[in-house]
Amino acid sequence: MTEIDRCPRIETERLVLRKWEERDLEGLAELNADPQVMEFYPSVLSRAESEKMLARYMDAQQQYGFCFSVITQKGSGRFLGYCGLKVPGYQQHLSFAPCVEIGWRLLHCEWGKGIATEAAQMWLRFGLETLQLNEIVSFTPVQNSRSEKLMQRLGMVCVEEFEHPMLEDGHRLKRQVLYKMTRQRYLGQGYD
């Protein structure tokens, strides 16, 4: 049996989903410095913090074979953001671990175009059909209705609210909502 590329290059009608490369730093730094994009994260990130994030993502690609992946515009190759599957680096602190999460982050100018939905549908399918994962989770602060609506569009089911273990008590983003999609639900209900 041949080895599955766990972080393949995937193309849709409009997008290319691919592995991280050093050249993606500029786009990632722009993404992470935008207060609108980072509204539901603890803070915006400096360029140095984005460099460390890129290194972590490239390491995760090597270690797990996948990580949140770059989204570029088909044709131009312009960086739009990221979406994909990732093993949380702090999952030993999560009550629902072990887990693989699906997540996304887009440049603000790309919001409202269906890009995150298109990319997330491809990664959900890849994770549940090709990688044969039993389930994929997604979570976000309870205030982030945009991401929660995307989880619902993907057919994911709200499981619970929980306190994010990496945020201090009283932090405005501590309360999170957890969604799941099981392979059985995905295949049985024809989400594709």
Q: State pLDDT tens for residues 59-102.
A: 988 888 888 999 999 999 999 999 999 999 898 999 999 999 99
Among the residue ranges 4-8, 34-38, 46-50, 98-102, the one predicted with the least confidence is 4-8
Q: Tell me the domain boundaries of the chain.
A: 10-188
**DSSP tag of 127:** I
pTM exceeding 0.85:
yes
Helix (H, G, I), strand (E, B) or coil at 161: strand
Pick the CATH number of 10-188 from 3.90.850.10, 3.40.190.10, 3.40.50.1370, 3.40.630.30: 3.40.630.30
Burial of 58 (0-12, 13-18, 19+ CB in 10 A): middle
* DSSP assignment of 132-147: --SEEEEEEETT-HHH
Q: State pLDDT tens for residues 105-161.
A: 999 999 999 999 999 999 999 999 989 999 999 999 999 999 999 999 999 999 999
Is residue 66 a contact partner of residue 86, using CB atoms and an 8 Å limit? yes
pLDDT at 10: 87
